[in-house]
């Protein structure tokens, strides 16, 4: 089962972090290592945001399936520095060095020497590594999950931020770090924003994504683990079981194109599933229809398509970070968190 976190809150803290995605976790760890008191809140049961892993029970076994971000790269110094530790601890391993492309002309092999990394225990393990510590496992990050923030307040007496939770409880901090998709961050903080900060958040755009997960009965011989697709409906296919270190049934993960996902955004998973399955059958063959379990998942804010140009956005002691700041990848999220933490350490020391 997915772990649910319930840390004791002792506040107010110096930095209250809303959103335990990779940017929020990276920032919180740097702040805590510098001696600041931080507290994390997330509305879901787990961590890592869209670097998500779905846990499914089948035949008495637990399957871990990446139904969000599929892999990551390490091009910048920040991630490259910690990558050897992540690999040595078994949290991360190389999965591929590029993927073939499927189009109406068939499958075209691409030559690439650029590693793509995954987590054998599921992509959410990357966030858990930051939560538990990579080099500093004795450093505890307080985290509450299933903690949905419904409203923000500013204390008139000391200027502290107060976050009202869905259960009626309040969490307070001198500084507020929002690691949320820009539209959600805007909705939560709009009444406190300066015009230029509001405009910056409004300018960010996301594309949605429908994902189809198929646990299959069997699998034909395939010479790929991931497949980029040029098609009106589907954009990606992955053999998720090839990421795992334990034996399990074959698992196919399919992701729809941004345009198709937008056109079908408000449909239910039950309505979308047969449409995606039909497209997969057309492209890959009848074998995709011989499944033991199927589910569709909607990511409303799957990928930033119009990003904020800088790695974070700040208004005094209110800071925004995420993969929509400075890039649109997992590595961008981490770099955003590190940059936000650096800003806060300088800001709080003034």
CATH code where residue 324 lies: 3.50.50.60
Domain match, 244 and 290 both: yes
> pLDDT value at position 1?
44
Q: What pLDDT, in 10s, does the model give residues 69-86?
A: 999 999 999 999 999 999
Domain match, 160 and 216 both: no
Range of the domain at 65: 1-69+123-204+308-350
Question: Hey, what are 42's tokens?
Answer: 């997330």
In 3D, which of 127, 122, 128, 10 has the Cα closest to residue 66?
A: 122
Domain match, 292 and 259 both: yes
Cis status of the peptide bond prior to 12, with omega within 30 of 0: yes
Residue 3 in any domain: the answer is yes
Backbone φ and ψ of 231, nearest 5°: -160, 150
Residue 106 in any domain: the answer is no
Q: What pLDDT, in 10s, does the model give residues 256-294?
A: 999 999 999 999 999 999 999 999 999 999 999 999 999
Domain match, 344 and 282 both: no
User: Is there a contact between 213 and 331 (Cβ–Cβ < 8 Å)?
Assistant: no
Domain match, 131 and 261 both: no
| Below-50 pLDDT ranges, the chain | 1
Residue 42 in any domain: the answer is yes
Domain match, 250 and 335 both: no
CATH code where residue 219 lies: 3.90.660.10
- Rounded Cα–Cα distance for residues 227 and 240 (Å): 11
Buried/exposed 107-136: b ≥16 CB within 10 Å, e otherwise: eeeeeeeebbbbbebbbbbbbbbbbeeeee
Residue 75 in any domain: the answer is no
> pLDDT value at position 327?
85
Q: Which residue's structure tokens are 């990848």?
A: 329
Domain match, 331 and 295 both: no
- Rounded Cα–Cα distance for residues 346 and 285 (Å): 56
Rounded to two decimals, the pTM is 0.93
Residue 8 in any domain: the answer is yes
Domain match, 171 and 33 both: yes
- With 0-12 / 13-18 / 19 or more C-beta atoms within 10 angstroms meaning exposed / middle / buried, residue 7 is middle
Domain match, 221 and 250 both: yes
Residue 49: partners with Cβ closer than 8 Å, 6 or more residues away: 19, 20, 21, 22, 24, 68, 127, 179, 333
Q: Which residue's structure tokens are 């039950």?
A: 270
Residue 87 in any domain: the answer is no
Domain match, 135 and 63 both: yes
- Rounded Cα–Cα distance for residues 71 and 173 (Å): 34
> pLDDT value at position 60?
87
Residue 117 in any domain: the answer is no
Domain match, 191 and 259 both: no
Residue 107 in any domain: the answer is no
Instruction: Count up the domains in the chain and report the number.
Output: 2
Domain match, 298 and 335 both: no
């Amino acid at each position: 089962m997915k772990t649910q976190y319930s840390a004791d809150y002792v506040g107010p803290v110096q930095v209250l972090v809303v959103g335990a995605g990779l940017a929020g976790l990276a920032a919180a760890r740097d702040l805590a290592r510098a001696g600041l008191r931080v507290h994390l809140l997330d509305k879901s049961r787990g961590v890592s945001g869209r670097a998500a892993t779905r846990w499914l029970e089948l035949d008495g076994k637990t399957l871990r399936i990446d139904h969000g971000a599929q892999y990551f790269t390490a091009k910048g110094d920040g991630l490259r520095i910690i990558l050897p530790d992540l690999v040595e601890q078994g949290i991360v391993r190389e999965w591929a060095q590029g993927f073939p492309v499927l189009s109406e002309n068939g499958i075209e092999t691409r030559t690439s020497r650029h590693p793509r990394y995954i987590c054998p225990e599921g992509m959410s393990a990357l966030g858990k590594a930051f939560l538990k510590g990579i080099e500093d496992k004795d450093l505890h990050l307080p985290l509450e999950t299933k903690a949905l923030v419904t409203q923000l307040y500013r204390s008139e007496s000391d200027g502290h931020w107060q976050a009202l939770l869905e259960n009626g409880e309040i969490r307070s901090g001198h500084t507020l770090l929002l690691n949320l998709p820009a539209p959600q961050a805007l909705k939560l903080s709009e009444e406190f924003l300066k015009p230029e900060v509001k405009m910056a958040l409004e300018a960010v755009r996301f594309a949605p994504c429908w994902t189809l997960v198929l646990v299959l009965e069997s699998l034909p011989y395939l010479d790929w683990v991931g497949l980029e697709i040029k098609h009106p409906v589907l954009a990606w296919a992955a053999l998720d079981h090839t990421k795992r270190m334990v034996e399990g049934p074959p698992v196919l993960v399919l992701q729809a194109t941004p345009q198709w996902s937008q056109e079908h955004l408000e449909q239910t998973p039950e309505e979308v599933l047969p449409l995606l399955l039909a497209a997969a059958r057309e492209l890959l063959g009848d074998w995709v229809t011989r499944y033991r379990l199927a589910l569709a998942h909607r990511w409303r804010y799957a990928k930033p398509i119009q990003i904020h140009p800088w790695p974070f956005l700040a208004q005094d002691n209110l800071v925004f970070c995420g993969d929509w700041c400075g890039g649109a990848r997992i590595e961008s999220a981490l770099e955003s968190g590190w940059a936000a933490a650096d800003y806060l350490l300088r800001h709080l020391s003034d």
